[in-house]
Amino acid sequence: MPEINMVVNGRSMRAEAEPRALLSDFLREDLSLTGTHVGCDTGQCGACVVHVDGVAVKSCNMLAVEAAGCEVSTIEGQAGPDGTLNALQQAFQDHHGLQCGFCTPGMVMSAAALLKENPTPSEAEVRAHLEGNLCRCTGYHNIVKAILAASGQDVSGIAAE
Amino acid sequence: MYNFEFERPGSVAEAVAALKSEEAQALGGGQTLIPTLKQRLAAPAKLVSLGGIAEMKGVCLNDDGSLSIGGGTTHAEVARAAAAHYPALAALAGGIGDPAVRNRGTIGGSLANNDPSACYPSAALGSGATIVTDRREIAADDYFQGLFTTALDEGEIITSVRFPVPEKANYQKFLQPASRFALVGVFVAHYAGGTRIAVTGASEDGVFRWSAAEEALASGAALDGMAPEADGMIADLHGTKAYRAHLTGVLTRRALQAMA
């Protein structure tokens, strides 16, 4: 089996994996980073979104060998070393941007990619950007609100639903 | 999925050599191929990743004004880099799938797969693009040969696609919101020599040129109420043949309106 090296959340990591191993499975099974969730395993739900070399990808739709030598960021790398949530995660908590939490890792990683590209997105831009992330609990409203809040925009006028 | 050997060559020449072995399959961005492998609808003995080939990536404007896009260029990159040169093509690329899919999926992969509902085939056919491979150049009019079928030979790689840039163009996609493919998509491009209309998502034979509408436009006629034959259109739970034929007419008129 080939040995795969990658830098995950700033740390060099390596493990052996078959060519057919998906990046999502490699992260979860071989590197024990189970924060990346596998919802549909068909590339549709977005729960498995991570960043590879700075861009959001669906890790269930990418082979681990394709990420060899890359910098990978997962949900585990978002909070500070002492566990302090970053601004985006804190906004999800403050605005109740999750219920069961299963889609949340992917939502946070997709939102982080959006805010990097577009630091103050409109509500429509946030909704359009999340079209590849499915949430079956919240109706998206508070997720969108949390992302707008994390971008520093005033969300006091947006009613909770 | 079944296991396979894996190679990641650094050049087109190495990739062509690697694809010569029995049951080898090229891997672009994998956004269709990987789900296909998971479902065991394909079981190649070897995957040859095209992701490490720098010469197949990027967008560049040629001296003759045409736009060349490397076969390994992602949809997200086309959306960004083609925006100033060919806005309708960039907009089409920026509407494929979702953001994470656009960061992996490639134009070469999409055209090689020739899904009957994919967006890119309509842009290539509607623009009269040239598909450039490791061994030859193929005109779009000869390239698309039916459902998931193209003029590509076994092991042939799309290294780039050359688009003549039209005076005006527009793509209208009627979204199938679950798959994010086109329920029907119409790409209209106006060149000095005439207007080309390419339709995806509608026909059982994949992307096609709606010649009757092109001829009507050339003769100065309006397309009011016009639609292609419903016979031969795709029918599924999302829409009947007649519905898709009707949508083709509506979307063509919308594209022309947007270009006016």
Fold of A87-150: DNA polymerase; domain 1 (1.10.150)
Fold of B1-50: 3.30.43
**Given this chain, do its domains B1-50 and B168-259 carry the same CATH topology?**
no
* pLDDT confidence tier of residue A158, bands split at 50, 70 and 90: confident
Contact residues on chain A for B94, CB-CB shorter than 8 A:
none
Q: Look at B8 and A66 and tell me if their CB atoms are within 8 Å.
A: yes
- Does B94 touch chain A if contact means CB atoms closer than 8 Å? no
pLDDT per residue as tens digits for the range B174-206: 999 888 999 999 999 999 999 999 999 999 999
Largest CA distance in chain A: 55
> Chain A closest CA to B259's CA: distance in Å?
24
H/E element, A146? helix A141-150
Distance (Å, whole) CA A96 – CA B43: 44
Q: What is the mean pLDDT of residues A103-129?
A: 97
**Is B59:B78 a contact under the CB 8 Å cutoff?**
yes
- Does A20 touch chain B if contact means CB atoms closer than 8 Å? yes
The one-letter amino acid code at A76 reads E
Q: What is the mean pLDDT of residues A147-153?
A: 97
Q: What is the mean pLDDT of residues B53-58?
A: 98
Contact residues on chain B for A19, CB-CB shorter than 8 A:
3-6, 47
From A22, A41, A62, residue closest to B104, measured CB to CB: A62
Contact residues on chain B for A113, CB-CB shorter than 8 A:
99
Q: Look at B100 and A131 and tell me if their CB atoms are within 8 Å.
A: no
Q: Look at A42 and B35 and tell me if their CB atoms are within 8 Å.
A: yes
Q: Look at B35 and A61 and tell me if their CB atoms are within 8 Å.
A: yes
The yes-or-no verdict on residue A28 having pLDDT over 80 is yes
Q: Look at A61 and B37 and tell me if their CB atoms are within 8 Å.
A: no
Contact residues on chain B for A132, CB-CB shorter than 8 A:
97-101, 180
Q: Which of B1, B101, B179 to mutate to test the interface with A (most CBs of A within 10 A)?
A: B101
The yes-or-no verdict on residue A160 having pLDDT over 60 is no
- Does A3 touch chain B if contact means CB atoms closer than 8 Å? no
Sheet of B182-191, strands arranged across: B168-175, B182-191, B194-200, B208-209
**Is B98:A57 a contact under the CB 8 Å cutoff?**
no
The yes-or-no verdict on residue A159 having pLDDT over 80 is no
* pLDDT confidence tier of residue A1, bands split at 50, 70 and 90: confident
State ipTM: 0.96
Q: Could you tell me which residues are beta bridge partners of residue A4? A: A15
Q: What integer pLDDT is reported at residue A65 of this predicted model?
A: 97
The yes-or-no verdict on residue B15 having pLDDT over 90 is yes
H/E element, B20? none
Burial label, B142 (beta-carbon count in 10 A; 0-12, 13-18, 19+): exposed
CATH number of the B168-259 domain: 3.30.390.50
Q: What is the mean pLDDT of residues B77-93?
A: 98
Q: What is the mean pLDDT of residues B33-50?
A: 96
Domain A3-77 sits in CATH 3.10.20.30? yes
Q: What integer pLDDT is reported at residue B168 of this predicted model?
A: 98
Strands (E), B59-157: 59-61, 67-70, 130-133, 137-139
To the nearest whole number, what is the mean pLDDT of chain A? 95
Contact residues on chain B for A22, CB-CB shorter than 8 A:
34
From A19, A58, A133, residue closest to B4, measured CB to CB: A19
Label the pairing between strands A11-16 and A3-8: antiparallel
Q: What is the mean pLDDT of residues A28-32?
A: 97
Q: What integer pLDDT is reported at residue A16 of this predicted model?
A: 95
Q: Look at A113 and B99 and tell me if their CB atoms are within 8 Å.
A: yes
> Measured in whole angstroms, how far is the alpha carbon of residue B54 from the centre of its chain?
21
Distance (Å, whole) CA B239 – CA B182: 12
Domain boundaries, chain B: 1-50, 168-259
- Does B43 touch chain A if contact means CB atoms closer than 8 Å? no
The yes-or-no verdict on residue B228 having pLDDT over 90 is yes
> Chain A closest CA to B30's CA: distance in Å?
7
- Integer angstrom CA distances of residue B177 from A21, A44, B97, B170, B239: 29, 11, 10, 20, 13
- Does A38 touch chain B if contact means CB atoms closer than 8 Å? no
Q: What integer pLDDT is reported at residue B86 of this predicted model?
A: 98
Domain boundaries, chain A: 3-77, 87-150
Residue of A nearest to B29 (CA): A62
Q: What integer pLDDT is reported at residue A147 of this predicted model?
A: 98
pLDDT per residue as tens digits for the range B133-151: 999 999 999 999 999 999 9
